[in-house]
């Protein structure tokens, strides 16, 4: 039996890969009325590619996985994208130039209940944070991508290898024309939680990063609100896409 063939008397679940604990919580809140065996199976990789690959491999081996979803915040590459925009791309491109396409029927059905979302375009999957305006602009030109994140390409590759449907749901947390402050690189722990102490300690040596961190925090909050609105149907997402 293939990964996509139906199995009798088995509750299907979506496998979801996120980078941050806060992203996982948005889905968990939306799925709280479901039983433990019905809600999405969420894995948090902390923005670490090696961890993301291991978790993606674990998800595709779950017998009742119906498909995979890359869910979370993203950086804008297209200057026209406002912070807080919800994006449902057609595909994600990796560093080797390979495009991993989403399941278009799933994407269109999700877009139908999220009319504010931008449905279409390409995401870019990066192994590292794209921090500066010049780097974002260069990637926008070379990859012709709207957004960048650090998990979608990994999940797309795993989905393709396993013959599973795949979906990307991303919200913009930082603008294409704004640099990320270097202190932001120290903010995320391997478990996807925020290391507030490490950020404060770094700020003691780089106080000039404070305005950028404040702007990033505000942008992240807007993106999380957009994800929260999308996740309100997270408990019904399986019914929408399967």
DSSP-assigned states of every residue in 2-47 = -TTS--TT---EEEEEESSHHHHHHHHHHTTTS-TTTS-EEEE-TT
Under the banding of pLDDT at 50, 70 and 90, the label for residue 1 is very low
Is the pLDDT reported for residue 39 higher than 70?
Answer: yes
The string of DSSP letters for 40-103 reads -EEEE-TT-HHHHHHHHHHHHTSTTEEEEEEEEEEEE-STTPPTT-EEE-SEEE-TTS-EEE--
Highest mean pLDDT among 123-127, 179-183, 233-237: 123-127
pLDDT of residue 190: 87
Q: Identify the helix (H) or strand (E) that includes residue 124.
A: strand 122-125
pLDDT in tens, 159-204: 999 999 999 999 999 999 999 888 888 788 888 988 888 888 888 8
Q: What is the rounded average pLDDT for all residues in the chain?
A: 89
Looking at mean pLDDT, say which of 62-66, 135-139, 203-207, 237-241 comes out highest.
135-139
DSSP string, 135-190: HHHHHHHHH--SEEESSHHHHHHHHHHHT--EEEEEEEEE-TTSPPPGGGGGSB-T
Beta-bridge partners for 68: 15, 166
Q: What percent of the chain has pLDDT over 90?
A: 62
Structural domains of the chain, ranges and CATH numbers in brackets: 13-241 (3.40.50.1580)
Q: Quote the Cα angle for 144-103-173, to 5°.
A: 50
What average pLDDT does the segment 6-11 reach?
Answer: 58
User: In this structure, are residues 100 and 45 in contact, taking their beta carbons and an 8 Å threshold?
Assistant: no
Cα 239–chain centre separation = 21
Spatial separation of the C-alpha atoms in residues 161 and 225, rounded to whole Å? 33
- For β-strands 91-93 and 122-125, DSSP reports them as parallel
**What pLDDT is stored for residue 185 in this prediction?**
81
Closest CA to 25 of 212, 231, 241: 231
Taking a C-beta distance cutoff of 8 angstroms, is the pair 123, 74 a contact?
A: yes
Please state the φ and ψ torsions of residue 104, each to the nearest 5 degrees.
-65, -35
Contact 102, 91 (CB under 8 A): yes
**121 to 15, 89, 93, 99, 183: CA distances (angstroms):** 23, 5, 11, 12, 30
Mean pLDDT of 85-109: 95
């Amino acid at each position: 039996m293939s990964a996509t063939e139906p199995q009798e008397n088995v509750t299907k679940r979506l496998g979801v890969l996120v980078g941050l604990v806060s992203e996982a919580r948005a889905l968990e809140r939306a799925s709280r009325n479901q039983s433990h065996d019905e809600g999405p199976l969420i894995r948090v990789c902390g923005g670490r590619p090696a961890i993301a690959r291991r978790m993606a491999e674990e998800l595709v081996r779950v017998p009742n996985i119906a498909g995979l979803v890359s869910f979370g915040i993203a950086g804008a590459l297209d200057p026209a994208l406002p912070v807080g925009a919800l994006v449902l791309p057609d595909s994600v491109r990796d560093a080797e130039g390979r495009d991993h396409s989403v399941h278009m029927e799933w994407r269109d059905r999700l877009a139908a209940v999220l009319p504010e979302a931008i449905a279409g375009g390409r995401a870019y999957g990066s192994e590292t944070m794209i921090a500066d305006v010049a780097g974002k602009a260069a990637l926008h030109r070379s990859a012709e991508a709207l957004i960048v994140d650090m998990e979608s390409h990994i999940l797309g590759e795993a989905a393709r290898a396993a013959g599973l449907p795949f979906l990307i749901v991303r919200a913009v947390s930082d603008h294409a024309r704004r640099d990320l402050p270097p202190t932001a690189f120290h903010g995320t722990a391997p478990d996807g939680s925020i290391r507030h102490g490490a950020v404060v300690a770094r700020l003691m040596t780089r106080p000039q990063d404070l305005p950028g961190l404040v702007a990033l925090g505000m942008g992240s909050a807007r993106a999380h609100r957009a994800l929260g609105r999308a996740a309100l149907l997270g408990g019904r997402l399986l019914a929408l896409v399967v």
